Structure 1
Amino acid sequence: MPDADDLVLRDLLAALAEEAGAMALDYARRGMRTWTKAGASPVTEADIAVDRFLKQRLGEARPGFGWLSEETADDPSRLDRREVFIVDPIDGTRAFAAGLPDWTISLAVVRDGRPVAAALAEPVAGRTFVAARGHGASVGGRPLVSLQRAGIDGAVVAGPKPMTISAEKAGATALPKIHSLALRFAKVAAGEIDAGFAGGQSHDWDLAAADLLVQEAGASLTGLDGTVPCYNRPVPTHFPLVCAGSPLHELLRQVVGEDRRRGRTT
């Protein structure tokens, strides 16, 4: 059953995602320090500032919730919480630092392992995607409805090359890289592309908000074996994922999975 409080949480996330987006844009205009963290991933002053802002404001709003963010040291106490904020202060930091537009602020509330409220701000485009479980998803007041393509031929896809190559062999067209993984899947939810892929080792903060957008827009996001992602586990990483409407989702899952089993892609 839809929960009315999930609408309250959605609106809270949306307001703070937009504030955080404005903060990040201000850093981008003024210039900022950038460095490399563990795993050779870039991080900027804006990532840290936005993370601290969101942690404070969300913690004040719902002090009983757990917290998981890309830019905060993991606190295992989150595992004991039924409800957890899952946050990527800037998803697509490489694009953000390079002055490219395809980065987002990704916020979600996960309850019992699945997202129930989400907001994904795309500050350069001036739009925010929102969703609450059982209440639909929208952007700028427009309901999100994913495409329901019947076959792979002619489908527009985005994601890691090893996975898009498999789709291209079946007749799809691959787009250039969309740096924010959350935005890649949000574009599927919005019907702007047919399908998106994620390689191995994506994290909860990359996925949770977009997962709910996709679900509420009538599409699917699963592993190659059809398993739905579960969030707030001890190790918050995920295996390769396929995101699309039906029946394209099942077709791509089979095509990409078969190529991987035969060792045609890496």
Structure 2
Amino acid sequence: MHADRWREDLALIRLAAREAGKVALGYFGQSPEVWWKHEGRSPVSAADYAANDKLQGMLMAARPGYGWLSEETDDDVARLSCDTLFVVDPIDGTRAFIAGEKTWCVSVAVVHRGQPVAGVLVAPAFDEEFTASVDEPALKNGKPISVSHPSAVEPLKLAVAEDVLKLVQPEHKNSVRRVRHVPSLAYRLAMTADGTIDGTIVKRNSHDWDLAAADVILERAGGRLVDAQGRRLVYNRESVKHGVLRAGAEHALDKLRMFMPDDPTG
């Protein structure tokens, strides 16, 4: 019964994410109005709010019994009593969006009892769409994707901030190649899922909405997103923030555990 339900939910969130992507794309490159939240540390644009309204309107009308958690909506603790909820970031990578860079996406997940069961990432500026559910493979534009395979000679390709890469232990420096950091965490995880990169380190204070959709896509592509102790994440807790995380193909996770200190951002 659940398999059919998650497939139906995947179709629903794919449609909603596409529509929200169209809304956001209409603002892209048009200098939308921008505000600052969290004491001026995080930007939000008119596009974020418009995409959020589109998602909330479509999704909650279709599933009124589900809970709701979005970066751009005031948190409602009623979500904690919901077995199933939507977890949404209407534009993951707002800084890139405002700067006219293409690495942003609409992120929508269905989370059931703490675990993502369906996820969609739509990157309209790249014309890319990533989808997966617990009973369906990870797809990019309708074609199956998988994480990278280990190489005995190639360095590990990581998309990480420069300050994180500096913490790689000296004896392993030649075993790592940094690719340009991607501010959109969801899109960075999607790059891991399709094998563009081998893995990434996520600094502390990421949120459920940054991660949930990409988490199920990465898992169905053969990778994992784990905390510093190697544990799977739990979503829809009272606090939606997470500590230091590692993501990647299994061979990348093994190397990251060797290369990096337990808390590379502590």
Per the normalisation by structure 2, the TM-score is 0.93
CA distance in 1, matches of 2:63, 2:153: 44
Q: Which residue of 2 aligns with 1:183?
A: 187
Q: CA deviation at 1:132?
A: 0.7
Amino acid at match of 2:220: E
Q: CA deviation at 1:179?
A: 1.5
1:152-184 per-position Cα deviation (integer Å, ceiling 9, x unaligned): 951110123343334462521111220110000
Query: CA 1:4 to 1:174, structure 2 compared with 1: closer, same or farther past 3 Å?
Result: same
Q: Which residue of 2 aligns with 1:142?
A: 143
Q: CA deviation at 1:226?
A: 0.3
Q: Which residue of 2 aligns with 1:86?
A: 87
Query: CA 1:157 to 1:184, structure 2 compared with 1: closer, same or farther past 3 Å?
Result: same
Percent of residue pairs bearing the same amino acid type: 37
| Structure 2: runs of 5+ lacking an equivalent | none
Q: CA deviation at 1:255?
A: 2.3
Which residues in structure 2 correspond to 1:1-266 (within 5 Å)?
Answer: 3-39=3-39, 40-149=41-150, 154-167=155-168, 169=173, 171-258=175-262, 260=264, 266=266
Q: CA deviation at 1:27?
A: 1.2
1:204-236 per-position Cα deviation (integer Å, ceiling 9, x unaligned): 000000000110000111012101110000000
Partner SS state of residue 130, structure 2 = strand
CA RMSD, Structure 1 to Structure 2 (Å):
1.8
Partner SS state of residue 235, structure 1 = coil
Per the normalisation by structure 1, the TM-score is 0.93
Q: CA deviation at 1:30?
A: 3.8
Bigger drift between 140-149 and 197-206 goes to 140-149
CA distance in 1, matches of 2:166, 2:132: 31
CA distance in 1, matches of 2:242, 2:217: 18
Q: CA deviation at 1:15?
A: 1.1
Contact 1:151 1:251 in 2 (8 A): no
1:86-143 per-position Cα deviation (integer Å, ceiling 9, x unaligned): 0000000000011011001000000010000010001111011000103111011110
Query: CA 1:248 to 1:113, structure 2 compared with 1: closer, same or farther past 3 Å?
Result: same
Amino acid at match of 1:124: A
Q: Aligned residues, how many? A: 262
1:213-264 per-position Cα deviation (integer Å, ceiling 9, x unaligned): 110000111012101110000000111111111222122023223574xxxx
CA distance in 1, matches of 2:247, 2:146: 14
Q: CA deviation at 1:61?
A: 0.7
Amino acid at match of 2:156: A
Contact 1:190 1:217 in 2 (8 A): yes
Contact 2:244 2:263 in 1 (8 A): no
